[in-house]
Amino acid sequence: MNENSVLARRIIPCLDIKDGRVVKGIRFVDLADAGDPVALARTYEAAGADELVFLDITATVEGRKATLDVVRAVAAELTIPFAVGGGVRCVDDVRQLLRAGCDKVSINSAALRDPQIVAESSAIFGRQCVVVAIDARRTEQGFEVVIDGGRTPTGKDAIAWAVEAERLGAGELLVTSIDADGTKTGFDIALTRAIRRATKLPVIASGGAGSIEHFVEVFEEAEADAALAASLFHYGEIPIERLKNELTRHGIAIRPKAVLAK
């Protein structure tokens, strides 16, 4: 394990937003309504979530920014760290999201199309505010980066892109396996581990959580710093408190409840 792998791990619910509502699908399609983002944000903080991620999943393909009103409403309910992504195309978009109340901004498609947005955002707002999100799909050659909500293959190797994102100034990586997303068959251990070992950045594993054992695996075998899930938490299949208790029982260090002054 590398030097950061002994740090306490984080549990992060993800709110995928479409038209102001939380939705969840399988492999980025077949979306179903999962609730009100403000109510869910409030519930997750009370349940002991370490952070929250808000992704406006159709903003990029619809050519618009993340809905700032929803960001403000969610941020007003939280004291835990809160990251927002979706439709970020320039440094001013990052600025507006941070002003709306989030603590970090997740940049996905735009980061690959114009890597300077990562470098400039990091220089202006600090590395800690910049999350580069990497959506990847398995190919015969390895793992390929896919953008535009999983719609556009890029031919870019995911591990190479993670290394480049670190060099550009990213402070964290959100790594989603499109193959595993929504399937509840487990995180992509190989993908997460390869990126975790290729960089020194904290890695959030995403896509495929379906059981407590999957979280144990991604922390123990892939050395992830954090694990993200959506429907598993939205539908109450695994309460966060129970998950954290089980992880502790497995000897995995879990963060105490975070408090962040707004």
DSSP sequence for 126-195: -GGGEEEEEEEEE-SSSEEEEETTTTEEEEEEHHHHHHHHHHHT-SEEEEEETTTTTT-S---HHHHHHH
Q: Is residue 142 part of a domain?
A: yes
Q: Is residue 163 part of a domain?
A: yes
Catalytic residue (one of 16, 50, 103, 181) = 16
pTM beyond 0.85: yes
235 phi and psi angles, rounded to 5 deg: -100, 10
pLDDT of residue 39: 85
Q: Is residue 17 part of a domain?
A: yes
Please indicate, yes or no, if residue 53 is contained in any of the structural domains: yes
Whether 262 is in a domain gets the answer no
Q: How many domains does the chain have?
A: 1
Question: Which one-letter amino acid corresponds to residue 151?
Answer: R
C-alpha–C-alpha distance, residues 160 and 155, integer Å: 11
Structural domain contains residue 254: no
Q: Which residues of 202-240 are buried (b: 16+ CB within 10 A; e: fewer)?
A: bbbbbbbbbebebbbbbbbebbbbbbbbbbbbbeeebeb
CA distance 31 to 25: 4
Handedness of CA 146, 169, 7, 104 (dihedral sign): negative
pLDDT under 50: residue ranges of the chain? 1-5, 26-31, 259-262
The pLDDT assigned to 86 comes to 86
Residue 2 falls within a domain, yes or no?
no
Q: Is 135 annotated in the active site?
A: yes
pLDDT for res 4: 42
Q: How far, in whole angstroms, is CA 199 from its chain's centroid?
A: 17
Query: According to the model, what pLDDT value does residue 64 have?
Result: 53
Which of 53, 15, 49, 55 has its CA nearest to residue 35?
A: 15
Q: Is 16 a catalytic residue?
A: yes
- The whole-number pLDDT of residue 261 equals 43
Instruction: Pick the closest to residue 50 from 181, 182, 224 (CA basis).
Output: 224
Residue 5's SS3 state is coil
Burial class (CB in 10 A: 0-12, 13-18, 19+), 19: exposed
CATH number of the domain within which 115 lies = 3.20.20.70
Is residue 133 a part of any domain in this protein?
yes
Q: Which domain holds residue 28?
A: 10-249
Candidate list 56, 135, 188, 225, residue with the active-site label: 135
